[in-house]
């Protein structure tokens, strides 16, 4: 079975920093990219950042210049360094692995999420 486990969330003051980690276990094939999503109360889940196996990254406009995504393929881990945090960053953050198989098509794996709360 495939399992993703996030850690590193918590309570932090505005302007502070947190580093989220996600470790993947089990066999995962045909990975197109890995990333982080978040969902705030009353809002839809949204993309935060993604990174391909080759290291290409993309970010939501709201976090550009503040967040950095990285990965360690050998350790099956992906990270999200979050700096200059704002109250609007408060959400549950989810680790995601997006796969695209030649025949089966696209499919995703998700972690259970870790809470990030930023106080004013």
Tens digit of pLDDT for each residue in 3-52?
A: 999 999 999 999 999 999 999 999 888 989 999 999 999 999 999 999 99
The arithmetic mean of pLDDT across residues 77-97, rounded, is: 97
Beta strands in 30-113 (DSSP E): 31-39, 46-52, 57-59, 67-72, 77-82, 91-101, 105-110
End-to-end CA distance of the chain, in Å? Answer: 40
Closest CA to 77 of 8, 22, 28, 5: 22
**pLDDT above 90 (res 120):** yes
Task: Specify whether the backbone of 73 is left (phi greater than 0), alpha (psi in -120 to 50) or beta.
Answer: alpha
């Amino acid at each position: 079975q495939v399992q993703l486990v996030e850690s590193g969330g918590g309570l932090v003051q505005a302007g502070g920093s947190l580093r989220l980690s996600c470790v993947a276990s089990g066999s995962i094939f045909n990975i197109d990219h890995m990333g982080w999503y978040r969902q705030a109360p009353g809002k839809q889940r949204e993309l935060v950042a993604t990174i391909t196996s080759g290291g290409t990254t993309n970010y939501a406009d709201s976090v550009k210049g503040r967040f950095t995504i990285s990965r360690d393929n050998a350790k099956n881990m992906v990270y999200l360094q979050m700096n200059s945090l704002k109250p609007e960053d408060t959400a549950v953050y989810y680790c995601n692995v997006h796969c695209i198989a030649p025949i089966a098509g696209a499919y995703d794996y998700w972690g259970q999420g870790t809470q990030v709360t930023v106080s004013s």
